[in-house]
Amino acid sequence: MHTIDETKELIEEILKRESAGNHYYASVVLKSTQKIIGTVMIFNINQDARHAEIGYVFHKDYWGQGYGTKSVMLMVKFAFESLKLHKLHARVVDSNIGSIRVLEKNGFELEGRLKDYYFIEGTYYDGLFFGKIQWK
């Protein structure tokens, strides 16, 4: 966010989505400082099919320290145990090796490649589609 108004608009949208019951957001807080370092979310929940998308974003100062892996693990547990979802999926830019590793460490499997799916700062990137099924 670049302005207070943009931040307020985002928070209002997040609250609206959560109250609709198809999005969940969790802030990741560093214990030692109580500083928010990231967010993990479950969104686009399909109650009939019992599947949803998982996503996460962390401040770059905290990349590579295990916070993403641990946070995704906890959100996956919440999705399968509390929300009773059957499947989670995630879309990742193919060049984002750190994010790919977070998913792989949490048991997500590569299910497909979406050619030129992302257009970032004038360049196309493939999107990788990962999934994880709750086996019973």
Q: What CATH number corresponds to the domain at position 16?
A: 3.40.630.30
State how far the alpha carbon of 103 is from the alpha carbons of 31, 68, 69, 128, in Å: 24, 9, 7, 11
Tell me, what's the pLDDT at 135? 76
Domains contained in the chain, number = 1
Residue 18 pLDDT level (bands cut at 50, 70, 90): low
Domain that holds residue 49: 4-133
What span, in angstroms and rounded, lies between the C-alpha atoms of 129 and 86? 17
What average pLDDT is seen over the chain?
90
Higher local confidence (pLDDT), 91 or 27:
91
What average pLDDT does this structure show over 56-66? 92
Q: What is the pTM of this model?
A: 0.83
φ/ψ of 18, rounded to 5, equals -65, -40
CB distance 93 to 73 below 8 Å:
no
Tell me, what's the pLDDT at 5? 80
What average pLDDT does this structure show over 65-88? 95
